[in-house]
Chains A and B, each alone.
Chain A
Amino acid sequence: GENVEQHPSTLSVQEGDSAVIKCTYSDSASNYFPWYKQELGKRPQLIIDIRSNVGEKKDQRIAVTLNKTAKHFSLHITETQPEDSAVYFCAASIGNYQLIWGAGTKLIIKP
């Protein structure tokens, strides 16, 4: 069946450095790829998304890139700050109303 693989499961970076989280999806029909951030004890919230007709999207320190040929997409966070510490989930659309989720990446920002 369809799946999304997400790596790494844990990522520890020095404050101020960049962080990159990668996801690979299996369904070639997927056309929508959101990223969610879940802070400790809180609900997941959308931080950025990208559609299949776009290769890259940027929002301040956050960017997402998509390679449809290779079926992978990545989240890039630059100039990391303590408030970036959280679990990040990628997802890929399947069918008309479902998302398949990655297993999550715990991002730790070291002071």
Chain B
Amino acid sequence: DVKVTQSSRYLVKRTGEKVFLECVQDMDHENMFWYRQDPGLGLRLIYFSYDVKMKEKGDIPEGYSVSREKKERFSLILESASTNQTSMYLCASSLAETWFFGQGTRLTVV
């Protein structure tokens, strides 16, 4: 009963490429989040959305953008990938205090 699905588990991209990370949830949640997870730094919020076509910057939005055209899908876009964006990316969705995470996408930028 997978509830939050990220399109890729592993991605390798070249510096300067435009990268799309997709996240889909099937729980009709209004809130969706993109986090970056690095050792010792925990979960850092990149962007979040509380409704279709709505987006809010998190703590580290630089170099990223997002798109939420449909309620179930929240996309993270790296406009021009750089090596310092090599990381684990986690998507989450929530309704009130009920949260679910995707399985994560490990992105390597070479």
Contacting residues, chain A, for B96 (C-beta < 8 A): 97
Q: Which of B12-20, B61-69, B72-80, B98-106 contacts A (4 or more CB under 8 A)?
A: B98-106
**Known: A43-B102, A49-B97, A93-B97. Contact between A101 and B43, CB under 8 A?**
yes
Say whether chain A's binding surface is mostly helix, strand, loop, or mixed.
Answer: strand
Q: How far is the CB of B99 from chain A (nearest CB, A)?
A: 7
**Known: A43-B90, A43-B104. Contact between A32 and B42, CB under 8 A?**
no
Contact B102 A103 (CB under 8 A): no
A20-77 residues with Cβ-Cβ distance < 8 A to B are: 32, 34, 42-46, 49
| Distance A101 CA – B103 CA, assembled complex (angstroms) | 18
Q: How far is the CB of A36 from chain B (nearest CB, A)?
A: 8
Contact with B along A91-111 (1 / 0, CB 8 A): 001000111011110000000
Q: How far is the CB of A99 from chain B (nearest CB, A)?
A: 7
Q: Is B31 an interface residue (CB 8 A)?
A: yes
Contacting residues, chain A, for B102 (C-beta < 8 A): 43
| Distance A89 CA – B41 CA, assembled complex (angstroms) | 11
Q: Which residues of B contact A (CB under 8 A)?
A: 4, 30-31, 35, 40-43, 48, 50, 90, 94, 96-97, 99, 101-104
14 residue pairs from A and B, CB less than 8 Å apart: A9-B40, A32-B97, A34-B97, A34-B99, A42-B103, A43-B4, A43-B101, A44-B101, A89-B42, A97-B96, A98-B48, A99-B99, A101-B35, A102-B42
